[in-house]
Amino acid sequence: MRGPENPGIVIECGARPLGSGRTQRLFSWAQSPALLIRGGRVVDPSQGLDQTADLLVIDGRVAGIGTELAAPHGTAVFDARDLVVAPGLVDVHVHLRDPGFPEKETLETGAVAAATGGFTAICCMPNTEPPLDTPERVADVITRSRGLPVRVYPIGAISRGRQGLELADLGGMAEAGAIGFSDDGDSTRDSRVMRAALAWSARSGRPIMAHCEDRALAAGGVMHEGAVSRELGLPGIPAAAEEIILLRDLELARLTGGWLHVLHLTTARGRRLVRAAKLEGVRVTAEVMPHHLLLTDEWVAGRRRFVGEDRVFTGPCPDPHAKVNPPLRTEADARDLLAGLRDGTIDIIATDHAPHSERDKPDDLTRAAFGMIGLELALPLMLRLVARGELSLPELIDVLSTRPAALFGLPGGTLRPGSPADVVVFDPEATWQVERATLASRSCNTPLLGMELHGQAVLTMVDGKVVYVDTDAVAWRAGP
Ligand SMILES: NC(=O)N[C@@H](CC(=O)O)C(=O)O
Ligand SMILES: [Zn+2]
Ligand SMILES: [Zn+2]
């Protein structure tokens, strides 16, 4: 990035070309101690801010927001006209497959995908091999995450070996740095173990993050049980499989006073259960995934239509990439979840980034793994709701950054002067094609493959360091 606007910025090319088309590269930027991000639409819900302004970063911290900031001599300038400048996105639910499945993702490739998607902090789930169920394994992830482009926070397992039968050493793992606990991928099988985990949560204040699924009811199912599963003749997973365990866990949270964080909520009835529990004073928070807001079970049948939109794109039928747990549900569920997000019943957006190799996604749905990637798709998917006026841009940044950071006590989520400069600059309109070559994640399992999306991060900064920059966009901006 050299040009009239940006004198003196040095880019050290640890570049990693990601393929044809847009050349997206990861840079380690020889640091200029001061950077002025000029003229963008600065959106920071933590300060009720939405205005065109400059953002000044000095020595890793936000130094100020305004129009006539006194920038020190030699300050590098990034031209952010027509771009949005916001606190970096925060994702409390990703699967990095590390240790155990480097062919799907690693801490490093996952962190690069996060930076590319505009995320500055991510929390990784413990369903690794071996699972993160001891203080040593939690500490190992923290040690190996040092120096990665984004902040990585491990989530420890609730139960030993994720078997759901014996409580793991939650205290030890918390001391080692686990930010929360989950048996994600499965529900914690033994209700007494779940009770003990939530009782521990009541004492420690740490979240218990629940994957709600009745094992026996869901067994064998590959998609939402309903009209489309019947049409395709595929075994279904009824909404009740989710709601039954959700209700159990809500009742256990009520009983213990512990903090239940409901992972990937997908049903309208589930939303009502969470809402009722909240009104009754149960300590519960909930997240919803962009794919459950915008995609439906129709996608499994290759009828790719975004919720609330008319156009139908044809995809493979059945599409193994649309197999995810919990499953893509109906349009009515998706609309209800959006209402829940808007009224605060659902607190945050997370991605459930769940990379799988091509081998794990055969065309035969009964053999395909559950999961889809999300880190690079969350922003463009959610921006559809903004484009349609169903969510404002400040509301979007609130649920993707400010709230998750505040809720889980993570850095970021704010551009308040003095805070660490975790920033995303994105182009809400940039058009790009979802292809293996345009994705930084090691896996490309998403039903959006081949589709055109709008909205993309242009620059991601963590702790004042530029960890991702879209060179094409920047070159275009800075001139020849
Ligand atoms: N969401 C998924 O479909 N899969 C996740 C597990 C999970 O989040 O339950 C995975 O680890 O692959
Ligand atoms: Zn899960
Ligand atoms: Zn998950």
Can you tell me the mean pLDDT for 250-263?
99
Of the pLDDT bands very low, low, confident and very high (cuts 50, 70, 90), residue 76 is confident
Can you tell me the mean pLDDT for 432-448?
97
Burial 353-370 (b: 16+ CB within 10 A, else e): bbbbbeebbeeebeebbb
Does residue 4 register a pLDDT over 60? no
Centre of ligand 1 from the C-alpha of residue 357, in Å: 13
Q: Do domains 11-85+418-434+453-478 and 87-408 have the same CATH topology?
A: no
Catalytic residue among 183, 214, 333, 352: 352
Of the pLDDT bands very low, low, confident and very high (cuts 50, 70, 90), residue 14 is very low
CA distance linking residue 377 with residue 9, whole number of Å: 30
pLDDT of residue 31: 56
Percent of the chain surpassing pLDDT 90: 88
Q: Quickly list H helices, 117-224.
A: 135-145, 170-176, 191-204, 215-218
Centre of ligand 1 from the C-alpha of residue 6, in Å: 43
Dihedral angle sign, alpha carbons of residues 275, 255, 284, 156: negative
Can you tell me the mean pLDDT for 115-121?
98
Ligand 1 pocket, mutate which of 183, 324, 352 (most atoms under 8 A from CB): 352
What residues flank ligand 1, with Cβ below 6 Å? 95, 127, 184-185, 211, 324-325, 352, 354, 370-371
Of the pLDDT bands very low, low, confident and very high (cuts 50, 70, 90), residue 25 is very low
Which position has the higher pLDDT, 235 or 26?
235
Does residue 268 register a pLDDT over 70? yes
Question: Which amino acid, residue 232?
Answer: L
| Contact status, residue 341 vs residue 257, Cβ threshold 8 Å | no
Can you tell me the mean pLDDT for 67-94?
93
CA of 350, nearest ligand number = 3
Instruction: Return the CATH architecture of domain 11-85+418-434+453-478.
Output: Roll (2.30)
Ligand 1 pocket, mutate which of 92, 94, 127 (most atoms under 8 A from CB): 127
- Average pLDDT score, the chain: 92
Centre of ligand 1 from the C-alpha of residue 146, in Å: 25
Can you tell me the mean pLDDT for 79-93?
97
CA distance linking residue 433 with residue 420, whole number of Å: 33
Domain boundaries, the chain: 11-85+418-434+453-478, 87-408
* Catalytic annotation present for 82: no
User: 398-428 pLDDT, tens per residue?
Assistant: 999 999 999 999 999 999 999 999 999 999 9
Beta-strand relationship, 84-87 and 34-44: parallel
Can you tell me the mean pLDDT for 71-97?
94
Can you tell me the mean pLDDT for 60-69?
95
SS3 content of the chain, % helix, strand, coil (to 5): 30, 25, 45
Reading the block at residue 397, the tokens are 């940044």
User: 152-188 pLDDT, tens per residue?
Assistant: 999 999 999 999 999 999 999 999 999 999 999 999 9
Is the ipTM value over 0.95, yes or no? yes
Q: Which CATH superfamily is 87-408 part of?
A: Metal-dependent hydrolases (3.20.20.140)
